[in-house]
Amino acid sequence: MKKVIKFIVLAIIVGILASASFQVYQYIVSNYNKESDEDYLDKEDNDDAEDSLIDTSDKTIENNVSVIVDNVMPSIVAINATVEENVRDFFGREYSRESEGSGSGFIIGQNNEELLIVTNNHVIQDASNIEIVFNDGAKAKASLRGSNAVADIAVVCVSFDDLSEETRNHIKIATIGNSNNVQLGDLAIAIGNALGYGQSVTVGYVSAINREVEIEGRTMELMQTDAAINPGNSGGALLNTRGEVIGINTVKLISTEVEGIGYAIPISEVLELITTLINREEIEESNRAYLGIQTQDVTKMYSQGFNMPIGVFVAKVEKGSAADKAGLKVGDIITAVNSIPVESQIDLLEILNYIEAKTEGTITVSSLESGEYVERTLDIVFDGRK
């Protein structure tokens, strides 16, 4: 009996010691895990803080496109253009009829009298009437300030007298970005008057940079995006995650074999041209710039047949003329004047009509050297017309 009681007492003591040891172990482990969790949470907080110092604003905007759209939309406009065209009926009688097209644009600036809007040239080309529809629904008639068919850029203007005070207070000037800093995979937001139904938004990514695209016989270097660009989007803004304009939506590749390929003109490539179109003033004929050359067009057919750049071929240079002093030679092909693209004699004449005699400028030519055409830019002081 004594042995049984002794055994029971020992068992109780061993149980108490084991229980105490287990409680101590749990306490130690619990505190250790708690400290580890706190350290881990502190590390996560620090990592988040470091990330937020890097680019929180970009990530916030990127995840909330509606914020960009809400801020930018007052600078985007819809454009309705009316074109008169001559057609023949079944009996061969010719008559005139009006056709309407739609496009987009964005407000790039203003002066004391006018609001200035950028769009594609093909949106307003040959239009007899141009109507601008602002984000608040207000409409106003616009007039052409300047255009360049080669670059497919146009600037139209709206008089402030045709806008209500509410509309003047509502509209904004678009913020221009730097398309030279765009990288593949950057988020891209396209806003425009798709199909003429009113402003709409599509989102995608920059798919390619400096993509060579042939449009109506001429090659353009464009930015490619998979953001949907549909008829009516032309002339509208392609935006980055900061709401800055990085491109001008211009065309969509239509084919049963492809999907999601749209193109935009890089904004940095045409800013100088846009500035020229905005600031130019028509010069009196007696004071217009003169080169002193005889020319002929290098059309697409000649370009393909003889491997020549499209432009204006210099057939003769007058001795002592502005062209002669600048270094133009017979056989050179003029492709730009003052950085404005030239594809025909009509283009060249139109540019010279807005350049004053005795002013300085540049001529971009392609010269044949060792069997290949090499581009060079010449400084020139324009002559006056004789």
Q: Which active-site residues does the annotation give? A: 122, 152, 234
| The residue to which tokens 């708690």 are assigned | 34
CA within 13 Å, CB half, 45? 6
* Amino acid sitting at position 346: I
CA nearest 312: which of 245, 366, 372? 366
DSSP string of 227-239? S---TT-TT-EEE
In 3-state terms, the chain is what percent helix, strand and coil (to 5)? 35, 40, 25
Cβ neighbors of 268 (< 8 A, separation 6 or more) are: 178, 179, 180
- Phi-psi region for residue 167, left (φ > 0), alpha (ψ -120 to 50) or beta? alpha
Report the sign of the C-alpha dihedral through residues 357, 363, 368, 369, in that order: positive
Count other C-beta atoms under 10 Å from residue 277's C-beta: 23
DSSP string of 82-139? EEEEEEE-TTS-EEEEEEEEEEEEEEEEE-SSEEEEEE-HHHHTTEEEEEEE-TTS-E
